[in-house]
Amino acid sequence: MTTSAPVRYTGQALLDYVSENNDHVSKTQLAIDAGYVYDNGKPMFTDFYTELLKAKEILDPTYVSTSEAEDAQYEALPLATQELYDGVHDRLGEKWDHEEIMEFIDELTDLGITTFSDFEDAFCYESDGYWAEKEFAEYWVCEVMCEAPNETIAHAVDWQQVWDHNLRYDFNTIETSNGTYFFWNN
């Protein structure tokens, strides 16, 4: 059984709907019932209010909302890039907005990572710490390579030097406002 998309009110139909229901329906339900709802059932408030402003002729009718522009940009991406976008969003969290993901994908492409499979193969570590390279070097040596120095030596190791002289040639980093990400150098 196929379900059809809800009717999305625009223009005068939206104004009439809001006028008839505004007093006895919550804003959330108003947006949803007017057809402004995501697949997950959450209301598309930005699109709803943008369309309402257009209908009231407060906003230029040719205005394209940010979410509409983002959706169009996403839809224009090749399928492999859409999968990479979705994978990055799922893997790195919802704290990333569309623009940050697109910039991150550009950085990944510069590293030769063009699919989500490439991402999974190359991704090694993420840090939101100030000394990310130092933190990664200690993690890599002690946890991955299982060459944990005894506690006395571990405090004497200059982990930034380990990164600078040994590890930076094997890994690429991408620094963002959300942290530093480490990838195998392919």
At 54 the pLDDT is 81
Taking all residues of the chain, what is their mean pLDDT, rounded to a whole number?
83
Spatial distance between the Cα atoms of 16 and 158, rounded to a whole number of angstroms = 69
Neighbouring-strand partners of residue 123: 183
Encoded tokens for 75 = 């839809």
Identify the DSSP state of 7.
Answer: P
| pTM of structure | 0.61
Please enumerate in sequence order all residues whose Cβ is within 8 A of that of 104, keeping only pairs 6 or more positions apart, or say none.
88, 92, 96, 174, 176
* CB-CB contact of 44 with 67 (8 Å): yes
pLDDT, tens only, 99-157: 888 899 999 999 999 999 999 999 999 998 889 999 999 888 888 887 666 565 656 68
Mean pLDDT of 70-87: 86
Query: Is residue 67 pLDDT above 80, yes or no?
Result: no
Instruction: Provide the pLDDT for residue 1.
Output: 46
